[in-house]
A and B are shown apart, each in its own frame.
Chain A
Amino acid sequence: MTRKVLLRYSTQKATEPILASVIKETDVLPNILYAEVSTKGGEILLAIDAPDKEVDKAIELFKQEGIEAQEIKRAIQLDRDLCFDCGACLSLCPIGALYITDDKSVELDDNKCIYCGLCVPSCPVRALKLSKFW
């Protein structure tokens, strides 16, 4: 299973090649889903498809380097009370995390979601929300 890890960089840490060194040390191949980092600090969201042990090791290494590393379970929320299953969001999802069930309900697969946020403004009743990470 692909796990998602959010890294939060402080001002001091943003100038060090920490991500690269963790990759070198663990052999995991993280995919960057989202990044907003400058020398002032910031955050990077990684998707890591590797055995659980290795992902745990990577998270541990980030922590040792002084990075706030936190596993993210869910960032886009689909509010079922607001959603009326129009499906406007479906074709905007680049990886099919939003899908329609046999009874024509719109559902969101948290495991597939890459938090790109493309679906959010397309919802006519604002039932899709992107949680800010910071």
Chain B
Amino acid sequence: MTGTKVNKSVADINDRIRRGDAVVVTAEEMVEIVRNKGEVGAAKEVDVVTTGTFGAMCSSGAWLNFGHSDPPIKIQRAWLNDVEAYTGVAAVDAYIGATKLSETRGFDYGGAHVIEDLVRGKEIEVRAIAYGTDCYPRKELKTILTKDDINQAVLCNPRNAYQRYDAATNSRDETIYTYMGTLLPNYGNVTYSGSGSLSPLHNDPNYETIGIGTRIFLGGAQGYIFWEGTQHAPAKAMGTIMTIGNLKEMDARYIRGATIEKYGTTLYVGLGIPIPVINERVAKTTGVSDEEIKTDLTDYGVPRRDRPILREVTYAELKSGKVEIRGKEVPVSPLSSLKQAREIANTLKHWIEDKRFFLSQPVEGLSTDQVFKPLKQVTAVPFVRDIMTREVVTAKPSDPIASTAKIFADRGFDHLPIVDARGRLVGIVTSWDIAVAVGTGKKKLSEVLTSKVITALENEPVDAVARRLEKHKISGVPVVNSCGELRGILTSQDLSKLLGRRGR
């Protein structure tokens, strides 16, 4: 790189570390230094900026090699504490993924917890089955292992350390449970992840120093970046990295199995990257502050790939604990631990100062223009408008019970939407409501209708509505447009017809 006033190599910086005169600061400390001394001044003064993050990283897992039994087995399927591991690689290798759930304990225990238990040196029950071959005759195996009993235990994570992440909120009038945590109704709270100014990748967003072969802090041990992470999207400030490190050397303080309520299990991973300040460009990016890091406040109430964005928020706002939505102050939950992120940046700083950690020169750079493509789908996703019944019999709130009961009997349906004079949905009456109304001598529909109606929109995917029916234990929903006007009805019968079509 040319055109810079300060030029240091990674080798120069390692020499200083060896001599004990390298200046190492955390990314939070660097914000002030760049503010006070400018980029060039900061680049001259500081040699290394340490970063850190401690967050839920679902895309994590570990490669394990069990060694061979006698007689040997070519494992076809294997379970570790009842969590299935992937074993389609040779005979006794397995990959235990963080989000795989226990077959006996559900959301309370998953692959992430197996990984934490391995790090803690706990005993793990291994069960395996096989079809048996001439060279691997054994068909079943049951044993108990710790990390010391197995050959390799390697944490190997396809996607870690998102540069930043969307902040989440919920427009629906019900609480939803997402991978971004519990989201209260009607924008009742906001959750976010990432450590902002301490974010490893946000401190070198141009990948000038971070690349393949970069030595990092991973789970309390020294690990490496070995590729760009899956879904790496640096152009959108959503870069990610693939990381690898020896699980046997890790510390359970920085590798924690966790459960996100009604969502599943995940692994909290502690990760820190040292950024060598090779020039003033890098000094500038490591000086990034929470005020400068923006992310999208996104509505997770809409279960689509492209969720609506409410507005931009800064990490400074998010970290303040309150965010304004539509003129209202809303409480914020971080999902990653800023305290542990700081601790990691400080630990990495001390390792370097104590000459226990040296920086590595990447052997290859990471892509800076990669984009994250959506899934190519060969079958069209059906929308509500594609399968709903459009000809709907409706009634008015003032209609008498007696004549309505006759409609139910003649037409053989279960749901009668009630609309006002302008065609707007004001309630629903079911065949059960009519039975009760007749039995109790009610006169008008307005006396028995349910006015809080669960509805669907025409442009919603059918899957989202199917989940709604299941959740509320109902068999049909009126379909309305954005003005609340009735457009049709979608029932579980319509959904079963669709399943029949899918089967063919």
Binding site for B on A (CB under 8 A): 84-93, 96, 100, 103-105, 121-122, 124-126
Contact = CB atoms under 8 A, between A and B. Distances in A.
A1 to B, nearest CB: 24
Interface stretch (B147-155, B254-262, B357-365): B254-262
B189 A92 contact: yes
Contact of B337 (A85, A89, A92, A121): A85
B339 A85 contact: yes
Contacts of B331: 90-91, 93, 96
Given A86-B334, A92-B184, 19 more contacts: A84-B268, A86-B54, A86-B55, A87-B335, A87-B337, A88-B333, A91-B188, A91-B332, A91-B333, A92-B182, A92-B189, A96-B331, A104-B339, A122-B261, A122-B333, A124-B56, A124-B259, A125-B258, A126-B259
Contact of A125 (B184, B256, B342): B256
Contacts of B54: 84, 86
Contact of B340 (A84, A88, A124): A84
Interface string B467-492: 00000000000000000000000000
A91 B330 CA distance: 8
Contacts of B56: 124
A124 B258 contact: yes
Contacts of A89: 333
A125 B182 CA distance: 15
A104 B346 CA distance: 15
A87 B260 CA distance: 13
A90 B332 contact: yes
6 contacts: A84-B256, A85-B337, A86-B336, A90-B321, A124-B259, A125-B259
Nearest to A83: B337
B312 to A, nearest CB: 20
A124 B266 contact: yes
Contacts of B184: 91-92
Interface of B: 54-56, 181-182, 184, 188-191, 256-261, 266, 268, 321, 330-340, 342
B261 A105 contact: no
A105 B340 CA distance: 9
**Which 9 pairs between the two chains have the least Cβ-Cβ distance?**
A124-B258, A91-B189, A91-B331, A91-B333, A104-B339, A87-B334, A85-B339, A104-B338, A85-B337
A104 B181 contact: no
A21 to B, nearest CB: 37
Contacts of B259: 124-126
B261 A121 contact: yes
Contacts of B258: 124-125
A126 B261 CA distance: 10
Contacts of A121: 182, 261
Contact of B191 (A85, A91, A100, A125): A91
B182 A86 contact: no
A121 B182 CA distance: 9
A124 B191 contact: no
Contacts of B336: 86
Given A86-B334, A124-B258, A126-B259, A91 B339 contact: no
Contacts of A85: 337-340
Nearest to B56: A124
Contacts of B256: 84, 125
Contacts of A87: 333-335, 337-338
B338 A90 contact: no
A100 B321 contact: yes
B337 A84 contact: yes
A84 B270 CA distance: 11
B264 to A, nearest CB: 11
A105 B339 contact: yes
A86 B337 contact: yes
Contacts of A125: 256-259
A65 B259 CA distance: 45
Contacts of A90: 321, 331-334
Nearest to B260: A124
A96 to B, nearest CB: 8
A112 to B, nearest CB: 14
B342 to A, nearest CB: 7
B177 to A, nearest CB: 9
Contacts of B189: 91-92
Nearest to A126: B259
Contacts of A122: 181-182, 261, 333
B439 to A, nearest CB: 27
**Which of A89, A96, A121 has the largest number of chain B CB atoms within 10 A?**
A121
Contacts of A92: 182, 184, 189, 333
A90 B337 CA distance: 12
Contacts of B182: 88, 92, 121-122
B181 to A, nearest CB: 5
Contact of B339 (A93, A103, A126): A103
